[in-house]
Amino acid sequence: SSDTGIASVTSSGKVTSKKPGKCTIYAYVGNSRLSCTVTVTKKKATVSSGSTQLIAHRGAYYQAPENTIPSFQLAARQGYKAIECDVRETKDGALVISHDASLLRSCGIDALISNLTLKQIRQYRIISGNGIGKYPNLKIPTLEEYLKVCNQYKCTPVIEIKSPMSEKGIKKLYNTISGSVK
């Protein structure tokens, strides 16, 4: 922070407002220094830099299991303008949202997504993650379901391809994204 009397920043990146005023918050990524202007009014900080945008990584993973529809919806409702997800291709060419190559951590099943069909994956429920007790019967979402949430809330989709895709998978990814942009 350029003025810790207005807003301070912890080593983990948490910004705490102290008193009304303006200051610059700096973030360091590799050799690059990023900054944004913060205006504190009545002890509430707001970002005023037009080029700064926060991205919800795997949705609001701190409140709902990561990469799930509830996680994406919560992030959108909290005001994130962009939501990131991880995409993988199934055995039958479907595109699903999962950070991990295996269903072990999320569903308790030691099986690779790339070796399963979408129908097989849909048989399993997500059993772990933050707030899982509030979200029974969660399934691994498809890319189409994720994009539907982004369109509904007018959020920018940020899609990370987690593993190599077949040529068919790449075409499907392109066509799905192209068809969903409104």
Q: Which residue has the tokens 């350029």?
A: 2
Residues marked active site are found at: 57, 99
CA distances from 179 to 7, 43, 143, 148, 168 (A): 43, 43, 12, 11, 16
Question: 73-99 burial by CB neighbour count: b if 16+ within 10 A, else e?
Answer: bbbbeeebebbbbbbbbbeeebbbbbb
Q: Which phi and psi angles does 15 have, rounded to 5°? A: -95, 130
Say if CB 7 and CB 22 are below 8 A apart: no
Q: Which phi and psi angles does 51 have, rounded to 5°? A: -95, -5
How far apart CA 50 and CA 107 sit, in angstroms, is 40
The structure tokens listed for 111 are 């099986």
The alpha carbon of residue 60 and the mean position of all alpha carbons in its chain are separated, in whole angstroms, by 7
